[in-house]
Every structure is written in C-alpha cells, then in structure tokens.
Amino acid sequence: MGKRHLLADVGGTHTRIGLTNAQGRLCPDSARRYRTADFSGLAAALAFYLRDLGCPSVAGVCAGVAGPVGADGAQLTNLDWFIAPDDLRAATGAAQVHLLNDLQAQAYALDDLDDAALVPVVPGRARPDGARLVLGVGTGCNVAVAHRIGDDLFVPPAESGHTGLPHGEAQINALVDHMSHTHPHKPIEAVLSGPGLLRLHHWLGGTASDIKAIIAQHRTGQDGTAAETMRVFARLVGTVAGDMCLHHMATGGLYLIGGVARAVAPHLASLGMQACFVAKGPYRQILQDIPITLIDDDTAALKGCARFLRQIPRATSH
C-alpha cells in the first residue's frame, strides 16, 4: 500500500485511533484510546490525534462506527454523532474515506489476530470453510459474519442488536415484557450490553451501580441477586448467540468481543450459557460443534479496518 492510512474504531464509550505501517497493517505503537464523549465528533478526534503525532500526512481514513452506515455517512446509535465523509477529509487531508459498522471491522480482523488474543470459552470443532460470527457486547450489541472468498473476507453489515429479544422460560418472558416499557421494540441490546446488564440487575432487585460491582459480588458470593443477574445474562447470551449462529450457519466459530464480553466471559460456561446455546432441537449437534472464543484485543477493529483497506486493490482489479 505504501502510503499511511488512519484507522478508527468509534464506540459509544471509547474511540480508538491508529495508523497503518508501510505494509498496510496497524502500527501497534500508533494506537491511542480516547473517551468518545470528550470530542464533538470523529473529525475533531482525528484532528487531535494527528496533532498529537506531529501531523503526519495520510492518504485515507477507514473507520468502524458503532451504528448504521449509509451513503451519506454514519450515525452512532448510543451517542449523538453523525460522521460525514467530507468532514473527515477536511479534518485529515485524506483523499479517501471508508466507513464500516464497527462489528464489520471486528470481523475483518479475524485472520490478523495473535493467538494470544484468542481465549477459548467453550471448545468445539470448527469447519475451516464455515462462516465465523462475531458477537459484540459492550455499550451496545451487534453481530457480524465473516465469509471467506478466496484470499479475502466478505463481511456484510448488520444491526442485529436491535432485533427482538427471544421468548423463553417464564422469567425471560417477564423480563422482555418489562423491557417493553422503556424499549418498545424490545431489542437484544436492551439486556445484552453494559447498560442492559445494569437494567437486568435492577429489575431483579439489585442495587449495584456498575457492572464491575455486579461481577465482583457474583465472584465472591456476596450477593445472591448479583449471582442471579449473571445467570440470566449468561443464559441470554447463549440463547441469542445460538439463534444468530443458526441464522448464518456459523460453523467456523463464534467469537465474543467487547468490554462487557471480556468481563463476563470467564463466568459464562459455569452459568449455563452452553445449555441455552445448543438448545435448538434437531440442530443441537451443529451448535455443539461450534467453538466459542473470546477476542481479547483492544485494537481488533483497527486491524480489521487495515485488512479492509488491503483488500480494496484486489476487489477493484476484478
């Protein structure tokens, strides 16, 4: 690729920014993390980053954004930011701007992650030719599916976090009904997210003010409500992830990513996630064969943006 490109991972809580090296991969020393709310928009954050690095020139920008992307730009779901390509060009001097959904960027990174960043949660037997599904649980929730096409990956956009919560046992159905009071369309991310974990805890009668406290109370056995919160959350992760893997026949593996996913992953297997994940009637064996892995790499989306940029010359040459 030669020329350097700006990479950005824009979340509701944090924004990560980095630069490609001469080989078109993320330069690890270039990665920075900022509080998203500290800036008026992505253009301001990128300009601040470039000034901090001594104003290097960049040929292009590729950003993964936590929200739907359209022809005119991208709107963050959980923050009042609209990202317009022309604003990014003006702020950075870049000629080219590419916007992806943030989970697309995460999935594009799958072939570029270090082995140490892949933490087994539940073992399985992945099919090498199978699609791989990334489930992001953080400030919000979404999925992306990576399909292999020759040497490249194809990752279509999705906004699955705003599809409906599943029906199930009486407790889950009561929770879904409760969520309809504040979230009429009863989206998955109303529960499967950081704010959602707190909502679940308070619905169960808990008083913790943040998810770290809930997880700590569960781990030490200090609070039965925290333990029940984690149990219900884990079972919902299993149910939703199993549904999504069947939707996309993700026989290549399920990957969990995001700050909340990293926090709860060590507890999921012992709390009944897998039983709900595989409870799909005649398709139980398909789900049992799917390995579940945690991605423990805070720069994964930046690596995915770099991968997307490296594929562009091959795509345009066809």
Tens of pLDDT, residue by residue over 129-158, are 999 999 999 999 999 999 999 999 999 999
Averaged confidence pLDDT in the chain: 94
Residue range 144-198, pLDDT digits in tens:
999 999 999 999 999 999 999 998 889 999 999 999 999 999 999 999 999 999 9
Among 8-12, 104-108, 220-224, the minimum mean pLDDT is found in 220-224
Annotate the chain with DSSP letters as a single string. --S-EEEEEE-SSEEEEEEB-TTSSB-GGG-EEEEGGGSSSHHHHHHHHHHHTT----SEEEEEESS-EETTEEE-SSSS-EE-HHHHHHHH--SEEEEEEHHHHHHHTGGG--GGGEEEEE-----TTS-EEEEEESSSEEEEEEEEETTEEE-----GGGSBPPP-SHHHHHHHHHHTTT-TT-BGGGTSSHHHHHHHHHHTT---SSHHHHHHHHHHT--HHHHHHHHHHHHHHHHHHHHHHHHHT-TTEEEEESHHHHHHHHHHGGGTHHHHHS--GGGHHHHHTS-EEEE--TTHHHHHHHHHHHHHHHHHH-
User: Which pTM was predicted?
Assistant: 0.94
Write down the pLDDT at residue 148: 95
Does residue 209 surpass a pLDDT of 70?
yes
What domains lie within the chain, and their CATH numbers? Answer: 5-108+299-317 (3.30.420.40), 117-295 (3.40.367.20)
User: What is the pLDDT, as a whole number, of residue 169?
Assistant: 87
Per-residue pLDDT tens digits for 256-282: 999 999 999 999 999 999 999 999 999
